Chain A
Amino acid sequence: MINKVVKTASEAVADVFDGAIVMISGFGEAGSPIELIHALIDQGAKDLTIVSNNTGNGHVGLAALIENRQVRKMICSFPRTAHSIVFPELYKNGEIELELVPQGTLAERIRAGGSGIPAFYTPTSVNTPLAEGKETREIDGKPYVLEYGLKADFSLVKCKTADRHGNLLFNKTARNFGPIMCMGAKATIVQAKEVVDLGMIDPEIVVTPGIFVSKVVEIADPLSENQLIKEERRYPWR
């Protein structure tokens, strides 16, 4: 029998190892799997390379993982946002690496990596500093930059609904990087607001088919990063 459902977030992230490449879903707070990230902080894997659009807010979630010195390198498109405090400080002091990737290129590198496409040409970043040192090629008279697919050891993803096969539905703009990150990792770990019985999700509307998912944990009432930031909370809680 296939049953990808595990009981706790700590069980879900137990296998993450030092030096792993980890994709973390979310656009800002929307879609960020905060319980899985906090479980990863408790678990303690370090020297991680994190692929995520932003670098976290305040002192919780992804920002807390970075603050806990578990991250060696960030691969992202927009590392400074209104509430991003931790990453900018470490970056200015040269204590964390940054690979800056245009957002669409980041998305396509993740999809390509998960789809068996090792590299692709894109017009994005042509003639800019972000194309420096990269192979370029003219196709039909237009210049393109060669970009490589991204593959991760683990993906941590938040969704709305899952079943025991790992079929997933998402919620509104919290979908963002979730479906492609599910495809992009050797092991995809998902936190779902609800786990429903097999057959309850109409096959016609499945967003991520279960084949792309390894583990599912139900987090019925996830924390609101916004709320935690307003309350100036820090993880680990103190």
Chain B
Amino acid sequence: MEVVIKKGWSREEMAQNIARDIPDGSYVNLGIGMPELVANYIPENREVVFHTENGLLGIGPSPAEGEEDDEMINAGKKPVTANKGAAFFHHADSFAMIRGGHIDICVLGAFQISEYGDLANWSTGEPKAIPAVGGAMDLVQGVKHVIIITKHTTKDGKPKIVRECSYPLTGKGVVDRIYTDLAIIDVTKNGLFVKEMAPGVDFETLQSKTEASLNQY
């Protein structure tokens, strides 16, 4: 019998959970989509510099309507502004920052995460799908802490945290922590450990929504 969970964190609360855990002074790359929400919730007393792989460190708020500039965009090709202290650079330098271990944290979406921290987030592997990879494979190899933000299950209720990814991998053993609508989970050498559960969620219910084995600290 399927357990119905009504409680859990909203997208905004998931982003807030991540923002809360980003230390002052961090250089952070946010993936396209839900990860972008994290920028809205950095506490005011912390200075965090956001990197976008198309060549900007120090992303500022979205421009006012009518102030958009076609040559001032983020990796999702949305208009952005630059904060004081920002820098522009070319693509090889941008990925030297990523691959060279200079970026502290990246926040990415996921199709699947395995209990070993394998990540699949670029292709469903369907024969007719057009593959597109962007910078995901560079980010997961080079950034110091790889954080995932994702709904705990797919739209039709299937687990996204699995024993082994069935979709093509973005990287093997690369994920450090997973923030879902139901829990915050650390990926460790000894397996997946639940750091925090959303209000109204208990361990048994969480495990029933997760294919991989979960552990409690």
**Residue ranges of A at the interface with B (Cβ–Cβ < 8 Å):** 27-31, 53, 77-82, 87-88, 91-92, 98, 100-108, 110-111, 122-130, 170-180, 207, 224-226
Contact = CB atoms under 8 A, between A and B. Distances in A.
Main secondary structure of the interface of B (DSSP, over half): loop
B138 A103 contact: yes
30 contacts: A28-B73, A30-B73, A30-B77, A78-B134, A79-B131, A87-B130, A98-B131, A102-B135, A102-B138, A103-B91, A103-B133, A104-B91, A104-B95, A104-B135, A105-B137, A107-B92, A108-B92, A110-B91, A123-B142, A128-B170, A129-B123, A130-B133, A173-B71, A175-B88, A175-B89, A176-B54, A176-B55, A177-B90, A179-B92, A180-B92
A102, A105, A207: most-surrounded residue (chain B CB, <10 A) = A102
B141 interface: yes
A231 to B, nearest CB: 15
A98 B131 CA distance: 9
B168 A180 contact: no
B130 A92 contact: yes
Given A102-B135, A127-B172, A82 B89 contact: no
Interface in B85-134: 88-92, 94-95, 98-99, 123, 128, 130-134
A124 B92 contact: no
Given A172-B71, A174-B71, 6 more contacts: A29-B77, A100-B131, A102-B137, A108-B99, A177-B90, A179-B90
A174 to B, nearest CB: 4
Nearest to B90: A179
Given A81-B77, A107-B92, A226-B70, A128 B130 contact: no
Interface string B154-180: 000000000000001111100000000
A29 B70 contact: yes
A206 to B, nearest CB: 13
B186 interface: no
Contacts of B98: 104
A224 B70 CA distance: 8
A103 B53 contact: yes
A143 B217 CA distance: 32
Q: Which 5 A-B pairs have the closest CB atoms?
A: A104-B95, A104-B138, A174-B71, A107-B91, A127-B172
Contacts of A177: 90-91
Nearest to B54: A27
Contact of A173 (B72, B130, B142, B169): B72
Contacts of A102: 133-138
Contacts of B94: 104, 107
A5 to B, nearest CB: 23
A165 B112 CA distance: 51
Nearest to A183: B92
A176 B98 CA distance: 15
A128 B55 CA distance: 26
B147 interface: no
A178 B90 contact: yes
Nearest to A143: B172
B142 A30 contact: no
A173 B134 contact: no
A126 B54 contact: no
B150 interface: no
Nearest to A144: B141
